[in-house]
Amino acid sequence: MQSIRAIWDYILDLKNEGMTILLTTNYLEEANAPCDRIAIIDHCKLVVLETPVELKRRYSDVIMESETESIVPSKVLDQLHNITGITKVIQIDKTLKVATSGSEPSVTGTIIKLITLESNIRRISQREPNLEEIFLSLTGTGLRD
């Protein structure tokens, strides 16, 4: 860990001295802090070139993540899919992730209301997606050759 930190400190020192740095990484979150711009390349094609802030603003939805006491029934998931402003619904075991475009302010209340009709919420949080999630939304979620 110390050697990684020393390398990042060195890179940031070079940046602060005005040097242009080209950094390649498979870990997009580590590119978030030191990079002024991020290029996402997929199959040798430039998909997007933006600042980290602009990437999050233009290509991301707010994610509401909730942990429930029981798995949310498929009928509730179907109802969530049909709400204007909801762009994605993913359930893994007792964790439900709902992505919202932010265009409908009442969506959060509707999500909570629907979930609590069928299950109790143990934990709930709302956040913007990380760069990895944005990468997957721009390039696809499956592994490819």
Give me the mean pLDDT over the 102-119 stretch.
83
Residue 125 domain-assigned (yes or no): yes
Measured between alpha carbons, how far is 58 from 126 in angstroms, rounded to an integer?
A: 18
Which residue range(s) make up the domain with 103?
A: 61-134
Output the six-digit token pair for 91. 């359930």
Residue 70 within a domain: yes
pLDDT tens sequence across 38-64? 998 888 999 999 998 888 888 778 889
Q: What is the pLDDT of residues 67-110, one digit of tens each?
A: 999 999 999 999 999 998 898 899 999 999 998 886 566 788 89
Number of domains in the chain: 1
First to last CA, the chain: 32
With contact defined as beta carbons under 8 Å apart, do 11 and 28 qualify?
no
Residue 22 lies in a domain: no
Write down the pLDDT at residue 143.
Answer: 52
What does each C-alpha distance from 57 to 101, 112, 134 come to in angstroms?
11, 24, 10
Q: Which CATH number fits the domain that encloses residue 118?
A: 3.30.70.100
Evaluate whether 110 touches 83 at the Cβ level (below 8 Å).
yes
How many whole angstroms separate alpha carbon 102 and alpha carbon 116? Answer: 21
